[in-house]
Amino acid sequence: MKSRDQEYREMFMAEALEYYDAMGRHISELEKNPQADAALNELFRLMHNLKANARAMGFNELGEIAHGMETIFGLIRSKEKSFTGSVIPVIFGGIDTIGVIIRAIGEDAPLPEASMLLANLDRLVKGEEPILEGELATEDSRKLELSDLVYIQIKKLDHLLNLVGELIIDRDRVFTLGQEIGNPALQAVASHLYRIADELQYSVMDARLVNVGSLFNKFPRVVRDVATAEQKEVNLTISGQDIQIDRNILQIITDALLHLVRNAIGHGIEQPAEREKVGKPPVGELAILASTERDDVLIQVRDDGQGINVESVRRKAVERGLVSAGAAASLSPSDVRAFLFEPGFSMAKEVTDISGRGVGLDVVKLAIDSLGGQLRVDSELGKGTTFTLVLPTSIAVKGALLFELEGRSYALLLMHIDSVVSLWPQQLHVVGGMLLAEVQGENVPVVSLRQLLHSGDEPLPPADRSELHGRQDIIIANYNNRRLGLIVDRFVRQQNIVIKPMSQPLDTIDLFGGVTLLGSGQVCLVLDVPAITRVFLAKRP
């Protein structure tokens, strides 16, 4: 397995060769037409990028050459120099030298001496004549190289991933058929197809991965601008930039992450004078962090601001009719903070007066839900707040739990499942008309999924434990820090599935997040945990 340093080196080499090829094209165009502004601008950009990349990798001499070339192209662009006379051989020699150095880096060979070129570049910048004897790169040293880097439009990768999804579905059907028929030859082919499809799936998913740093590195400017507008001082810390995630997931969460960062500065971190009054440094601390947890990617936005006033949120939830006063009093702080993500609640202007949080958080939550992810919030009054985005690495293939209900197969995404338990009726308790089960030290409301799906527009009837017979298979789902036990007929198995969108008119039913096809050829409905949780909260006794 490649080390991270090897990957970075290969990426640098691929991009550097691409830059070198482009330099050759544009310098020839500039020689034919010294007024070709587009070629000149592109040469300036290429040298700037090569300079930054070379310095980041520790190839300082290459960075210095690119910096000198960039400076000269800048002078030509500003009309302080012209691409004529002795400037031409130095620039061509510089590009040739860049090619020699890049090849030496690729071959892990000693880097050539380039002091003569650097001296000539310096002379040109100062307005002096260069010394043109003994240039480094010669016709024996020049080689033609092709870059290993291929640029592919994301829509082509999307299409390829969709095809892989179809292949995975058919692979499972062939594998199941081979087991049912029992033909050794068919079983061997099915097993081989299974391995090949798996490898293809992960290869395509790997091709779509990008570093979260490609998004994180845009935030220093955002933080500076927002902090300036708010007249606050904020120190930004970024870590985990090399964590990789599907490019489409990163695109989907861009606006959500931007909103969380703006909220942290605008409403979380206090004004410098306020911070000093409570013994804090005048400069607020903001961190954007990425890490991995099992198969998930965690992205956190953490500030050391005023935190969320849980009691104020609790009162506002009662005022808005989201929960009764009695029920609200028994809610844990995490359950109370979950109200900030409720539609309407987070859009109300009053929320800003409560906690400095909330505006638009329902939209952020919807974006994360669309990926099958989770949004968590942890806060301590006066100390700060942390929002955690729990995201899948890929949105193509998702882990799911298959179960049966009334003879049909259904699926729930593992992302929203805490655990599964089997309990006897006497282990369940009825409180306030609801079934409760003690799971991992917490009382979790439990409901029959069959009853929930068939209740229509009517509220759920009060729970009756006498209607339960034998062990009850219960899925403990988790959404928005709320745990809910769903009684099903039978657990089947855990497997990866490819989710397809529902077709009309079924796409209007909120409870279903899509469909998948099992190896048997049976269509399986994928239930949407966020929607199920919302329905239960609306219909509970």
Token code pair at residue 266: 């605008």
Establish how many alpha carbons lie within 13 A of residue 504's alpha carbon, considering only the half-sphere containing its beta carbon: 0
Which range, 6-15, 412-421, 453-462, is most confident? 412-421
Establish how many alpha carbons lie within 13 A of residue 71's alpha carbon, considering only the half-sphere containing its beta carbon: 15
Token code pair at residue 308: 């969320």
Poorest-pLDDT segment among 256-270, 406-420, 503-517: 503-517
User: What integer best gives the mean pLDDT of the chain?
Assistant: 83
Mean pLDDT score, 278-289: 94
Q: What is the pLDDT of residue 232?
A: 92
The percent of residues above 70 in pLDDT, for the chain, comes to: 90
| Three-class DSSP category at 443 | strand
Q: What is the pLDDT of residues 163-194, one digit of tens each?
A: 887 787 778 778 777 878 888 888 888 888 88
Q: What is the pLDDT of residues 364-404, one digit of tens each?
A: 887 887 787 888 889 889 999 999 998 887 766 778 899 99
pTM of the model: 0.62
Using the predicted structure, report yes or no on whether residue 359 has a pLDDT greater than 60.
Answer: no
Token code pair at residue 198: 């798996």
Three-class secondary structure assignment of 191-258: HHHHHHHHHHHHHHHHHCEEECHHHHCCHHHHHHHHHHHCCCCEEEEEECCCCEEEHHHHHHHHHHHH
Q: What is the pLDDT of residue 63?
A: 92
Q: What is the pLDDT of residues 225-259, one digit of tens each?
A: 889 888 999 999 999 988 888 888 888 888 889 98
Q: What is the pLDDT of residues 481-526, one digit of tens each?
A: 788 999 999 898 888 777 776 666 665 667 777 777 776 667 888 8
In whole angstroms, what separates CA 156 from the centre of its chain?
20
Poorest-pLDDT segment among 87-96, 138-147, 235-244, 319-328: 138-147
Q: What is the pLDDT of residues 73-122, one digit of tens each?
A: 999 999 999 888 889 989 988 998 998 898 888 888 888 888 889 999 99
Confidence category of residue 345, pLDDT binned at 50, 70, 90: low
